Structure 1
Amino acid sequence: MAPQEYWDPVIPHVSEHDAIVPQRPGFGTCLDDPTTTSADEVLEREIEYVQALIENIDGNPVLFGHSFGGLTAIEAARVVDVDAVVAYEPAILPDGFREQADLAERMATLLKEGEREEAVKRYIEQVLHPEGIDDLDAWLSEWPVWPDCVGLAEEVLRMNRAVEQYRLPDQFDIGAPALVLTGTDGPDFLRESARSVHEALPHSRFVEFDGVGHGGPAEAPERIAPAVKSFLQQKR
């Protein structure tokens, strides 16, 4: 499932607000030359992409992001005017976890060996389904976007390197209110970092959903949507 599509079941419930859910460059939108983008340029590239979107619309929108998109949304809110930010498990690593993180290196090794599918499987196992899947290959064979994910292996690698390099600031200089969401069935390190992000934001609400995983907005929209709607109504 492409990053933008995680929010598709939720957005209709907040249709009275101007919402922007950027599609990550390379994940459905065009890159001039994705092979020339280094890990330390990935986040900057995506912030510039979001900034261009916002500057071409009237008013200040609500910016939605999931995982790496959540990190992008928060960082973009530091440089553009938005009405609010909604981020589900922004991809920021706690210090202790980041110091030992080696997902990008493991993926890079597999890609050098020509094992594209195995490289992306490591990402799925650690981030998307840390609870484990009995027969991962069978599950992937039924996952409609699996071939596209394999095709984006290098971009997934660069994204993970960017995450491993990122440092959470003590305080975000963001004036807009933010809603930070997480689920108890997702990766523990993302649950921890979601709370840390909430604490670093000056105007933030934090909501944790019991029994919901990293795919929260698409996995449980009937639970996520009311929390988002309530937040947007009360911030007015």
Structure 2
Amino acid sequence: MQTTRSEDGTEIAYERRGEGHPLVLLHGGMAPPDYWEPVVPLLDEEFAAVVPQRPGFGTCLDAPTETSAGDVLEREVAVVQSLVDDLDGDKAPILFGHSYGALTAVEAARDATVDAVVAYEPAILPDEFRRQADLADRMAAHLDRGERREAVKRYVEQVLHPDGIDDAELAAWLNEWPVWPACVDLAEEVLRMNRAVERYRLPDHLAVEESVLVLTGTDGPDFLRESARAVHEALPHSRLVEFDGISHGGPSEAPETVVAEVDAFLRS
């Protein structure tokens, strides 16, 4: 594990595999950094996978408990920008983010010097959906009652099972989910993250001069597919690819398919 520091002195811990062109992999939601384990072995040897621990989602980089929802995205963007500035190499790094990590990647690329961006279903809500979004409030109500597991279950239900799932099926699914119930410890951070998502408004124009590959899947939440298209339209240099039969967990669910598309994009 290597470390660097952001401008405010926060320690940034990350793992680097390889000596090639840095490809920074930004996980989302409650996924741990090893979310990228199915992806890394498939990357071309010309790339060096750089996997940081998101603030509050790892043992080396813990978010301060007083961090507000309004600060969450700004804090994570600053972490990515500091990491990008610190990485050695002949070429500027590439950012590859999933979900909330994809939102962070796109926002960081507005100011950081990067070579390209890959964004799998950025955690952005369409305006109509955002105005009605209440996930953060529902999570907060459960936390106020000390119901930490229920708070996290509501997040899993909406993001990973958008077509609905009854409580018995959800409980059985969670029992097979590798990060359950350890992810319950992240409940407060996930709540702050969701508030940040609910408050984020996609601008009409995203000032990212580098090429961006926006990815989505037909089996994920409809609102994320809609947002992926909106992000694509807001970028000046973007390609949109929709995978048939793949859900929101695309990079880990179908790594060969996703990496093949990423590789083709980077080589073009």
TM-score by length of 2: 0.83
In structure 1, the residue matched to 2:147 is 115
Matches of 1:88 and 1:126 in 2, distance apart? 17
Matches of 2:33 and 2:222 in 1, distance apart? 23
**Is the partner of 2:233 in helix, strand or coil?**
helix
Native 8 Å contact 1:70 1:88 kept in 2: yes
Matches of 1:3 and 1:61 in 2, distance apart? 21
* Cα distance, 1:2–1:99 mapped onto 2, change above 3 Å: same
**Is the partner of 2:97 in helix, strand or coil?**
strand
> By percentage of residues, which structure has more strand?
2
Aligned partner letter, 1:10: V
Gaps of 5+ in 2: 1-29
Matches of 2:202 and 2:59 in 1, distance apart? 28
Equivalences, count: 234
Matches of 1:3 and 1:144 in 2, distance apart? 10
In structure 1, the residue matched to 2:69 is 39
In structure 2, the residue matched to 1:66 is 98
Name the structure, 1 or 2, with higher relative contact order (CA <8 Å, separation 6+).
Answer: 1
**Is the partner of 1:27 in helix, strand or coil?**
coil
In structure 2, the residue matched to 1:148 is 182
* Cα distance, 1:21–1:73 mapped onto 2, change above 3 Å: farther
TM-score by length of 1: 0.94
Native 8 Å contact 1:19 1:62 kept in 2: no
Q: Which runs of 4+ in 1 moved over 6 A?
A: none
* Cα distance, 1:173–1:42 mapped onto 2, change above 3 Å: same
**Is the partner of 1:37 in helix, strand or coil?**
coil
Shift of 1:3: 4.9
In structure 2, the residue matched to 1:25 is 55
In structure 2, the residue matched to 1:204 is 238
Native 8 Å contact 2:232 2:240 kept in 1: yes
In structure 2, the residue matched to 1:51 is 81
Q: Does 1:138 align with 2:172?
A: yes
Aligned partner letter, 1:37: T
